[in-house]
Every structure is written in structure tokens, then in C-alpha cells.
């Protein structure tokens, strides 16, 4: 088991009595690619900034490599950050930007030369050393920001929504590059994003946050397939959430029908919520369906057709590679493993 | 047909008007320069080309002293104002809104007030505290009206500066002082330079405030010209004007060339 | 840290050298040395003296002359700003530079130059007699002072107007044309209204110094043209009546601040930034 390189305990951050991070515990394992995922305002960036040292926790502690760094200023932490807006020094050329941290550490000139060159190779910008920052595109600037942080060989790299300003194609390319970089360099990455697809693609582990609290911690597959609550289910991927009743272990009632499922431990006759992923719904001729419904809309999405099927009061979101037509009656089937049961959360809103 | 005639007429009028205006603007300067070479003492008729006024100019101790004081006050006050003003701008930039507005309003007073009021009020201050009017008081006055220009040039640059580069510097290991020296100052340096240039220009050209805050025989060029002009025409002043005009012209051309090179570099 | 205390030295400096002097002037405007006891006493005599017809006339004359100069600058300056704004960008830069260049000449020297031109045997009269026209005696008149004001302050009117005009989105003019407006209408309904901030700026930058100047009337007006600035100078330096001098200064300050307050309502710039052409 690799050790915990960062540990946050009972972290709270408030601004003028308004809490933004409401008491969270988390840890990051060495060499792990951890993502803090959540909507705007959920506290993920604040948490990252507390790890970096730009914000002081209102209460709670942060440990780095076993030592308490809560009061340590950012310039003394062995952690480096890649900023959302790159924060490159426009009055210096690329070489000087990357060399900035090394110069502060009084690294010998020859070594600086070597390491900067190596970094430029790593981010695929060989030969750019003497260029000015202004001549770079957004994607290139982002890579320089990464190089500038990584050249200092920190134990942990923090990334604050670094790909937000890039166009879709470039973003997807960079996601792969970053993941490869992390594996190659072998350091811990703590990544912040609101894009759940990005999180699922890159992470070893995801911490889902909302409203200052941690909603779920797990691997991408865990979170996607077994969301703990309605928020996570709704935030990750698209899902159908239906009210239902857990009859007993392995049996659940919803959509007016009794289904076999694979979850247990929810008690008997307990009101619960059912999560069904759109791509798990199988469209079959009406006679073969467990439930039937009327197709209300069909949108071609390239990879699949997105359909809304009305079944009584319920609207089912279905992703299918086969085309159905509006007004058609269809049957729907689900495998027991594809029915996910969640505890019913009382509405706190 | 009619339209093109109208537009030709329009552009003729435009050109004539433009020429008239610029003639008006440059006439006095040209007259000054031309008559600086005129052997006639009273700028009346043309008596022949001569350089004697230039010679007499450099021999005139009073003028040379005034020139020396003008330059030294300008240089010193610009240096002091630039340093104080830059630090002040940084402080103001980080102030809470209410305090910020108050200080900015006070800062604007020397710019908004007529210079006679600024000059008179500083004189009153000095005399009230029984300070002797002279070089030091003039210097203090110049620093006081120069600082606002520096602040108003640096502040926008601070606002434009992305706030995360300070954090980025600290993240990479820079102490706040190191970050200040190596990151903040270079980022705002165009504002500092512009502010210093404006301060220097204002200082060289100042008359009213210097007039009221100096004493003890310390004059700058403006004061000297004022006292001479009240006594009547003097071609040495013409020679002085010509020299000053030419140096300003050269300065502007040099600055312009540098700006041209700078913008080419970025492209 | 640095950020917190960086501004403190200046706060102190401005307190001593900006605020305190003004407070002292206000103080002196209400204080006079009693002729009897030689002690300082509260007195409104300075203000009362200001309200005498003699001085009110001087003040009115200063304001009037400044207004005339401002209006002249506006009438002369707006067209030239418009012309320059419609030139090709490269030409514009050169023109703007040519406009600024005279301002870099020492202001006293420029005023002195007009002395030489306007004197009895000066350049102006020489040209007039060459053309067979009668000579004029302009120096040491109110006319000369007005001329001096317009000459010195014209660029301050032209530049803000030019800046605003050159920033008008060409797309707006095209859109207006597209909607059927002819040249005159575009000028009246689009360009003129949009240039108001520049005009206000220019008016402010001309009127304020014009009202308070004392060099121009001293040099070009001789002893005959006395404006409020000259009175202040005399009271402080010759007559040594600080009470009266301060009172006039306070009145002038209030007048200027009031005028600026009225102007500010049209000013779109905020936060006191320098619009350095």
C-alpha cells in the first residue's frame, strides 16, 4: 500500500462567516492521479488552494509527507501548481519562465540548462526556449505552465482546471498527454475540474464535492456505476433517477413493475431511489419488454441516439445505437446488474 | 457629379483649415527660432544672421544657473516621486475600497486644483513652519505634484496584472520580496517609466508652483524667462527656446523610434 | 507584508504636503492679525473684500475671458479633431505628434513668443504693413490675453475630442448609413452625441487653467489686464495680505470644484485613471 502523501483533516474554510469548505477529510496517495470534481462553488478550488498554501484553513490541518504544513507559506512547500490562466511571466522568455524556480534554489547554470531542455522535450516544445510568451497559443502556454511547475521535481503537482480555456479537440489531446506525463514522471497529481468526463478519463481516484462537502470518494468505475447519492448519480454521466421501494433484498419495485436486482441491505419495504444509466436500457419489441413506453423524442448524437420514452408518469432517457421513431411504442428491458439502488436522501434544499 | 465636386471642395477646405491651424500653432515657435539668429536686438527688422545670442546665452551665468536648477530639481524630484509613487500605487491597489477612494481623491487634488492654489498653499505651509524658501522647498513641491502622475500611471498596470502571477511566483519558491523584485516590478515597469517621464516633463516645464515655493536666489528656467520677459524682449531667450525645442524634438524622435522597434519585436 | 504598508509613507506625505497646506489656506482665509493687539483673530474681512465690486469685476472678467477662450477653443478645435480622426491611421499618428510637439515647449517661452509677434514692430504688424493693411496694437490688451489662452490651451481641447472620435466604432457609422442616414444626420445623431465625453474633457482642461492663470495676463496683458490669478499673486507676494489672498484662493477652489462636479456628470471615465493619449 503506498503511503498517504497529503492528508487533510477536518478542513473548514469560511470567508466572513460564509463557509465554503464545510469540514472535509481526505487523503492523497503517492503517485496517484486524484481529481477533485464538482460544480462551481463546491469548494474544490478552495481545497486545492489550501493544499498549495494560498488560503489558510479556518480550522483543520493539512499534512504533507507526514509533517503538518498548515502554517507553512506556499514558497516553502514542495508542491507546485499549474494555474487555470497559466500565470506565465510575460516579461521573461520561455526558458526564464521554466527556470524561475530553479534559479531561486540556486541550481547551477549547467543543470538548469539540462533540466529545462528535458522539460521542453517532455511537453513537446523542443526548441522553444528563447521564444517569448506572447508568441504562444493557449495550448502551448498551458504546456509551458506545466513544464515550469514540473521542472522543480515536486512531490505533488496541483492543477486548477488547467484545460478550461482550450477547445474541445485540444482538451482531449491534453488529457491523454497529462495522464501519460503523470505516469512517466511518476509523481502525484491533484487535479481540479467540473468536467465529469475529464475526471472519469484521467483519474485513478475521484473525490466528488458539492456545497463544501465530500459526496463520494472512489475510482471512476465505482463512482459511475455505484453512485452513493442522487447528486453523484446526477452529476456523473447521465442517469434516470426513479422513486421506488425496496421490497426485500434483491427485489425492487419501480415504474409500476417488480424487478430483480443485485443490491441488498436496504431493509424491507424501504423507499429508495433507483438509478438507471441510459445506455443500459435495452430497446426491444413491446411484447418482450418488462415495461413499455411511447417514444417522444429522438436526437441523433453521432455516437448514439438519445431518446425520451414515456412510460406512464415517468420519462426514461435512453441511449441506443438503433433508431426508433417518434410515436413508436417500444419495450424496455434492464439487466439486474444495471439497476442501482440508492438511499433516499432527504431534501435539504 | 455634384457629389464628387462637393467632396473635392470639402477636402480642399479641410486641407486649408488644417494648414491654417498648424501654422497658428507653430508660428510663434518658428518666429522664436528665426529671430534667435537675428543680429537685431529687438526682433524688429532683419539685421543679418548671427550666432552671438547663442554665445551670450552660454556666457550668461544667471541662465546657466537657472538651467542647472531646472535639471537638478527635475531629475531629483522625478527619482523620489517614482520610488514613492510606485510603492504608493501598490499600497493603494491593495487597499479596501473606502480608504482607496479617499486616498485617490486626495491624490487628485494637486491635479485638479489650479496650480496657483497648489503653489500658494505650499508656500503658506513652508512659511507657517518657518522653513526657508529655496532649493529644498522647491524640490518638495515638485515631488508633491509629481507623485500623483506616477501613481496614476502605475495603478492601471497593477490592475491589468494577472493576480495569479504573484501566487505563481510564490508557488515556485519565491519569497514575497523576491517576487516583488523579479515579477511585479518588471510587469508594471511600463507604467513606472511612463509615470517618470510625465513627472520629469511636468517638472521641467513648471512655473507657477516653483515661483511660489522657491527663494534665496534659486530659480528655474521658467522663472528666469518670466523675469526677463517682464523687462522686455531679449534674444538670448530666443536662443534658449531654439535649443530647448531642438532637444525636445530629438527626444521625441528617439522615443518614437524605440516604440516602433518595440512593437516590431512583439510581432 | 509589503502590500499592507506600501502605501503608508505616501499617506503621510500627502497628508502633510497636500491636505495640510490647503487646510492652512482655509485657516488663513478666516484669520487676520488685529491691527490693535497684533494678535490673530477670526475675521471675514477677506471674504467681504472679495465681494466688493472692484474684485467681483475682476473675478467676473476672469470667468468671462476663460469662457470665451473655451468656446473659441471648442469652435476651432472640434473641426480639426474631426479632420484628424478621419485621416489614415499612419497620418493620424504624425498629426497627433505634431499637435503635441508645441506643448513640449516651455509654456512661458511660447507666451513670450507672442509678445514678440504682437509688439508694435513685431512680426504681425510687419506682415500687415507688407500687405498694405493698417497696423494694430494688440499687445497688452484683453485681446492679447485671449489669444494667449487659446494658443496655449487649444491642444488640450483637440486631443480629448480626437481620442474619443477615433475610438468611435466605424461599425456604428456603417450601420447608420445602412439604415438610411445621410452624412449630415450621421454627424448630428451619432458622432456628435458620442463625442460629448471628449468635449467635456476638453472643456474642463481648458476652462480650469484659463480661469486661474496669471502668467498669460501678466506677460500679454501688461499691467492693464488683471485677472483673478494676478490678484492672488499680488496679495500674497506684494501686498502681503494673506487673509484676503487666502479668501480669494478658497473662492477660486470652490468655484473650480463646483465646475468640475458639473462636468463629471458627463465623464465616462472612472477610477481617476490617466488617459494618456
Domain chopping of chain C, boundaries: 1-43, 48-264
**Residues A180, A199, A239, CA angle at the centre, nearest 5°?**
140
**pLDDT value at residue C271:** 38
User: pTM for this one?
Assistant: 0.80
What one-character DSSP code corresponds to residue C188? Answer: I
Question: Is the C-alpha dihedral spanning C226, C232, C237, C239 positive or negative?
Answer: positive
User: Is the CB of residue A132 less than 8 Å away from at least one CB of chain B?
Assistant: yes
Whether residues C236 and B207 touch (CB distance < 8 A) is answered with no
Cell 495640510 identifies what position? C20
Domain topology for A4-230: Rossmann fold (3.40.50)
H or E element that contains B141? helix B135-160
User: Is the CB of residue A106 less than 8 Å away from at least one CB of chain B?
Assistant: no
Which residues of chain A lie closer than 8 angstroms to B164, CB-CB? 83-85, 87
Q: Is pLDDT above 60 for A334?
A: yes
CA distance A325 to chain B (A): 53
- Selecting from C13, C98, C273 the residue whose C-beta is nearest the C-beta of B156 gives C273
Long-range CB pairs of A56-60 (<8 Å, 24+ gap) are A57/A11, A57/A12, A57/A13, A57/A21, A58/A12, A58/A13, A58/A14, A58/A19, A59/A10, A59/A11, A59/A12, A60/A8, A60/A9, A60/A10, A60/A11, A60/A12, A60/A23
- Selecting from B121, B141, B256 the residue whose C-beta is nearest the C-beta of C22 gives B121
pLDDT in tens, B55-76: 888 888 888 898 899 999 999 9
Whether residues C6 and B91 touch (CB distance < 8 A) is answered with yes
Q: What is the ipTM of this complex?
A: 0.82
Check: CB of residue B70 under 8 Å from CB of residue B76.
Answer: no
Whether residues B174 and A104 touch (CB distance < 8 A) is answered with yes
Which one, of C78, C63, C146, lies nearest residue C111 by Cα? C146
Q: Which residues of C225-255 are buried (b: 16+ CB within 10 A; e: fewer)?
A: bbbbbbbbbbbbeeeebbbbbbbbbbbbbeb
**pLDDT value at residue C268:** 55
Nearest residue of chain A to residue B178 (CA atoms) = A104
Residue C53 phi/psi, 5° resolution?
-50, -40
CA distance A204 to chain B (A): 25
**pLDDT value at residue C2:** 65
CA distance B62 to chain C (A): 17
Instruction: State how far the Cα of B30 lies from the Cα of B240, in Å rounded to an integer.
Output: 13
Mean pLDDT of A238-264: 88
Neighbours of chain B (3+ CB pairs under 8 A): A, C
Query: What is the set of domains in chain B, with CATH numbers?
Result: 61-241 (1.10.3720.10)
Question: If you compute the radius of gyration of chain B from its CA atoms, what whole number of angstroms results?
Answer: 24
Whether residues B165 and A152 touch (CB distance < 8 A) is answered with no
- The better pLDDT of the pair B144, C274 is held by B144
Q: Which residues of C, range 165-224, sit inside 8 Å of B by Cβ?
A: 208-209, 211-215, 218-219
Nearest residue of chain A to residue B170 (CA atoms) = A75
Instruction: State how far the Cα of A34 lies from the Cα of A24, in Å rounded to an integer.
Output: 16
Whether residues C274 and B153 touch (CB distance < 8 A) is answered with yes
Q: Which three cell numbers stand for residue B203?
A: 517638472
pLDDT in tens, B88-113: 999 999 888 898 999 999 998 898 88
Chains A and C physically touch (3 or more Cβ atom pairs below 8 Å) = no
**pLDDT value at residue A46:** 94
Query: Which segments of chain A belong to CATH 2.40.50.140?
Result: 238-343
Whether residues A100 and B171 touch (CB distance < 8 A) is answered with no
Cell 413499455 identifies what position? A292
The SS3 of residue C172 is helix
Q: Which residues of A237-260 are buried (b: 16+ CB within 10 A; e: fewer)?
A: bebbebebbbbeeebbbbbeeebe
Which residues of chain B lie closer than 8 angstroms to A88, CB-CB? 165, 168
User: Is the CB of residue C30 less than 8 Å away from at least one CB of chain B?
Assistant: no
Instruction: State how far the Cα of A158 lies from the Cα of A81, in Å rounded to an integer.
Output: 5
User: Is the CB of residue C104 less than 8 Å away from at least one CB of chain B?
Assistant: yes
Residues 6+ apart with CB under 8 A from C36: none
Nearest residue of chain C to residue B215 (CA atoms) = C237
**pLDDT value at residue A269:** 87
Instruction: State how far the Cα of B210 lies from the Cα of B217, in Å rounded to an integer.
Output: 12
Nearest residue of chain A to residue B189 (CA atoms) = A91
**Residues C146, C147, C149, CA angle at the centre, nearest 5°?**
65
Nearest residue of chain A to residue B184 (CA atoms) = A89
Whether residues B90 and C6 touch (CB distance < 8 A) is answered with yes
What one-character DSSP code corresponds to residue A301? Answer: -
Which one, of A78, A80, A56, A81, lies nearest residue A66 by Cα? A78
Return the percentage of chain B with pLDDT > 90, whole number.
Answer: 43
Nearest residue of chain C to residue B123 (CA atoms) = C21
Which residues of chain A lie closer than 8 angstroms to B169, CB-CB? 89, 100
Mean pLDDT of chain A: 90
Whether residues B172 and A88 touch (CB distance < 8 A) is answered with no
| Strands laid side by side in the A205-210 sheet | A79-82, A156-160, A188-193, A33-37, A205-210, A213-218
CA distance C259 to chain B (A): 11
Among B161, B167, B169, B171, most A C-beta atoms within 10 A, so best to mutate, is B171
Which one, of A85, A44, A50, lies nearest residue A64 by Cα? A50
Which residues of chain B lie closer than 8 angstroms to C107, CB-CB? 205, 207, 222
Whether residues B90 and C151 touch (CB distance < 8 A) is answered with no
Which residues of chain B lie closer than 8 angstroms to C1, CB-CB? 176
Whether residues B18 and C80 touch (CB distance < 8 A) is answered with yes
Neighbours of chain C (3+ CB pairs under 8 A): B
Which residues of chain B lie closer than 8 angstroms to A148, CB-CB? 172
Check: CB of residue B170 under 8 Å from CB of residue A73.
Answer: yes
Q: List chain C pLDDT tens, one digit each, 277 residues.
A: 567 778 888 999 999 999 999 999 999 988 887 777 777 788 888 888 888 888 888 899 999 999 999 999 999 999 999 989 888 888 888 888 888 888 878 888 888 888 888 887 777 887 888 888 877 777 888 888 999 999 999 999 999 999 898 888 888 888 888 888 888 888 888 888 888 888 988 998 899 999 999 889 988 887 766 888 888 988 888 888 888 999 999 999 999 888 888 877 765 554 344 433 3
CATH annotation of C48-264: 1.10.3720.10
Mean pLDDT of B10-29: 89
Nearest residue of chain B to residue A54 (CA atoms) = B167
Return the percentage of chain B with pLDDT > 70, whole number.
Answer: 93
User: Is the CB of residue A40 less than 8 Å away from at least one CB of chain B?
Assistant: no
Which one, of C11, C46, B262, B171, lies nearest residue A148 by Cα? B171
Q: Is pLDDT above 70 for A150?
A: yes
Domain topology for A238-343: OB fold (Dihydrolipoamide Acetyltransferase, E2P) (2.40.50)
Whether residues B169 and A52 touch (CB distance < 8 A) is answered with no
CA distance B20 to chain C (A): 10
Whether residues B174 and A100 touch (CB distance < 8 A) is answered with yes
User: Is the CB of residue A88 less than 8 Å away from at least one CB of chain B?
Assistant: yes
**pLDDT value at residue A157:** 95
Whether residues B167 and A132 touch (CB distance < 8 A) is answered with no
Confidence of residue B230 (pLDDT cuts 50, 70, 90): confident
User: Is the CB of residue A130 less than 8 Å away from at least one CB of chain B?
Assistant: no
CA distance B92 to chain A (A): 22
Q: Is pLDDT above 70 for B43?
A: no
pLDDT in tens, B163-201: 889 899 999 999 988 999 999 999 999 899 989 988 998
Whether residues B175 and A74 touch (CB distance < 8 A) is answered with no
Query: Which segments of chain A belong to CATH 3.40.50.300?
Result: 4-230
Q: Is pLDDT above 50 for B266?
A: no
- Residue A229: left if φ>0, alpha if ψ -120 to 50, beta else—which one? beta
CA distance C231 to chain B (A): 11
Among C78, C113, C161, C205, most B C-beta atoms within 10 A, so best to mutate, is C113
CA distance C233 to chain B (A): 8
**pLDDT value at residue C274:** 40
Whether residues B233 and C110 touch (CB distance < 8 A) is answered with no
CA distance C106 to chain B (A): 5
Whether residues A100 and B165 touch (CB distance < 8 A) is answered with no
Amino acid at each position: 500500500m503506498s503511503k498517504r502523501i497529503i492528508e487533510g483533516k477536518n478542513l473548514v474554510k469560511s470567508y466572513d462567516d460564509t463557509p465554503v469548505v464545510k469540514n472535509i477529510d481526505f487523503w492523497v496517495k503517492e503517485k496517484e492521479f486524484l481529481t477533485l470534481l464538482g460544480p462551481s462553488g463546491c469548494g474544490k478550488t478552495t481545497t486545492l488552494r489550501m493544499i498549495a498554501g494560498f488560503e489558510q484553513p479556518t480550522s483543520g490541518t493539512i499534512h504533507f509527507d507526514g509533517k503538518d504544513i498548515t502554517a507553512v507559506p506556499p514558497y516553502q512547500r514542495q508542491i507546485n501548481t499549474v494555474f487555470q490562466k497559466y500565470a506565465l511571466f510575460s516579461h521573461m522568455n520561455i526558458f526564464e519562465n521554466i527556470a524561475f524556480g530553479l534559479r531561486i534554489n540556486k541550481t547551477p547554470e549547467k543543470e538548469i540548462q539540462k533540466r529545462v531542455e528535458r522539460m521542453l522535450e517532455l511537453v513537446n516544445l523542443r526548441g522553444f526556449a528563447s521564444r517569448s510568451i506572447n508568441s504562444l497559443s493557449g495550448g502551448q502556454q498551458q504546456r509551458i505552465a506545466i513544464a515550469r511547475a514540473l521542472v522543480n521535481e515536486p512531490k505533488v503537482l496541483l492543477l486548477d482546471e488547467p484545460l478550461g480555456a482550450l477547445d474541445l479537440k485540444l482538451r482531449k489531446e491534453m488529457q491523454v498527454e497529462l495522464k501519460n506525463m503523470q505516469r512517466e514522471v511518476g509523481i502525484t497529481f491533484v487535479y481540479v475540474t467540473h468536467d465529469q468526463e475529464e475526471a472519469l478519463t484521467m483519474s485513478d481516484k475521484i473525490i466528488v464535492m458539492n456545497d463544501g462537502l465530500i459526496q463520494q470518494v472512489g475510482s471512476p468505475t465505482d463512482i459511475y456505476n455505484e453512485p452513493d447519492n442522487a447528486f453523484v448519480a446526477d452529476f456523473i454521466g447521465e442517469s434516470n433517477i426513479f422513486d421506488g421501494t425496496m421490497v426485500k433484498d434483491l427485489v425492487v419495485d419501480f415504474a409500476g413493475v417488480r424487478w430483480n436486482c443485485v443490491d441488498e441491505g436496504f431493509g424491507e419495504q424501504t423507499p429508495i431511489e433507483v438509478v438507471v444509466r441510459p445506455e443500459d436500457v435495452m430497446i426491444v419489441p413491446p411484447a418482450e419488454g418488462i415495461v413499455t413506453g411511447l417514444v417522444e423524442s429522438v436526437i441523433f448524437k453521432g455516437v448514439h441516439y438519445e431518446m425520451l420514452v414515456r412510460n406512464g408518469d415517468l420519462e426514461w432517457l435512453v441511449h441506443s445505437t438503433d433508431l426508433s421513431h417518434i410515436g413508436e411504442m417500444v419495450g424496455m428491458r434492464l439487466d439486474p446488474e444495471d439497476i442501482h439502488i440508492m438511499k433516499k436522501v432527504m431534501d435539504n434544499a | 457629379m455634384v457629389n464628387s465636386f462637393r467632396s473635392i471642395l470639402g477636402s480642399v477646405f479641410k486641407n486649408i483649415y488644417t494648414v491654417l491651424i498648424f501654422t497658428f500653432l507653430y508660428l510663434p515657435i518658428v518666429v522664436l527660432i528665426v529671430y534667435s539668429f537675428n543680429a537685431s536686438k529687438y526682433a524688429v527688422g532683419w539685421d543679418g544672421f548671427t550666432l552671438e545670442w547663442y554665445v551670450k546665452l552660454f556666457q550668461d551665468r544667471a541662465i546657466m544657473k537657472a538651467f542647472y536648477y531646472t535639471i537638478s530639481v527635475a531629475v531629483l524630484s522625478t527619482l523620489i516621486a517614482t520610488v514613492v509613487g510606485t510603492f504608493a500605487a501598490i499600497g493603494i491597489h491593495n487597499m479596501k475600497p473606502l480608504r482607496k477612494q479617499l486616498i485617490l481623491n486626495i491624490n487628485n487634488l494637486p491635479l485638479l486644483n489650479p496650480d496657483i492654489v497648489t503653489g500658494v498653499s505650499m508656500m503658506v505651509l513652508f512659511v507657517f513652519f518657518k522653513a526657508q524658501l529655496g532649493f529644498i522647498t522647491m524640490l518638495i513641491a515638485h515631488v508633491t505634484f509629481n507623485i500623483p502622475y506616477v501613481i496614476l500611471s502605475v495603478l492601471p498596470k497593477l490592475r491589468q496584472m494577472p493576480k495569479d502571477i504573484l501566487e505563481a511566483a510564490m508557488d515556485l519558491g519565491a519569497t514575497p520580496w523576491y517576487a516583488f523584485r523579479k515579477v511585479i516590478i518588471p510587469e508594471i515597469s511600463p507604467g513606472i517609466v511612463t509615470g517618470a517621464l510625465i513627472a520629469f516633463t511636468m517638472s521641467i516645464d513648471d512655473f507657477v508652483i516653483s515661483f511660489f515655493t522657491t527663494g534665496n536666489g534659486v530659480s528655474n528656467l521658467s522663472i528666469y524667462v518670466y523675469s526677463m520677459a517682464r523687462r522686455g524682449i531679449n534674444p538670448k531667450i530666443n536662443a534658449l527656446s531654439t535649443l530647448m525645442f531642438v532637444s525636445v524634438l530629438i527626444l521625441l524622435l528617439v522615443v518614437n523610434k524605440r516604440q516602433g522597434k518595440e512593437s516590431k519585436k512583439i510581432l | 507584508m509589503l502590500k499592507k504598508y506600501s502605501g503608508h509613507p505616501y499617506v503621510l506625505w500627502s497628508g502633510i504636503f497636500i491636505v495640510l497646506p490647503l487646510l492652512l489656506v482655509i485657516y488663513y482665509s478666516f484669520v487676520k492679525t488685529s491691527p490693535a493687539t497684533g494678535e490673530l483673530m477670526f475675521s471675514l474681512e477677506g471674504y467681504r473684500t472679495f465681494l466688493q465690486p472692484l474684485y467681483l469685476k475682476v473675478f467676473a472678467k476672469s470667468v468671462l475671458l476663460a469662457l470665451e477662450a473655451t468656446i473659441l477653443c471648442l469652435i476651432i478645435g472640434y473641426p480639426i479633431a474631426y479632420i484628424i480622426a478621419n485621416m489614415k491611421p499612419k497620418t493620424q499618428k504624425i498629426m497627433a505628434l505634431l499637435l503635441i510637439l508645441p506643448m513640449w515647449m516651455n509654456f512661458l517661452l511660447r507666451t513670450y513668443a507672442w509678445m514678440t509677434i504682437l509688439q508694435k514692430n513685431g512680426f504681425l504688424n510687419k506682415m500687415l504693413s507688407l500687405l498694405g493693411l493698417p497696423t494694430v496694437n494688440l499687445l497688452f490688451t484683453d485681446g492679447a490675453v485671449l489669444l494667449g489662452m487659446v494658443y496655449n490651451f487649444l491642444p488640450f481641447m483637440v486631443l480629448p475630442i480626437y481620442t474619443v472620435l477615433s475610438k468611435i466604432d466605424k461599425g456604428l457609422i456603417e450601420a447608420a448609413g445602412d439604415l438610411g442616414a445621410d452624412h449630415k444626420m450621421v454627424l448630428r445623431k451619432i458622432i456628435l452625441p458620442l463625442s460629448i465625453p471628449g468635449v467635456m474633457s476638453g472643456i474642463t482642461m481648458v476652462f480650469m487653467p484659463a480661469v486661474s492663470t496669471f502668467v498669460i495676463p501678466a506677460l500679454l496683458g501688461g499691467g492693464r489686464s488683471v485677472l483673478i490669478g494676478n490678484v492672488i499673486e499680488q496679495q500674497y507676494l506684494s501686498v502681503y495680505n494673506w487673509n484676503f489672498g487666502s479668501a480669494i484662493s478658497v473662492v477660486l477652489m470652490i468655484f473650480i470644484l463646483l465646475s468640475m462636479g458639473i462636468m463629471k456628470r458627463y465623464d465616462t471615465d472612472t477610477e481617476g485613471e490617466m488617459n494618456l493619449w
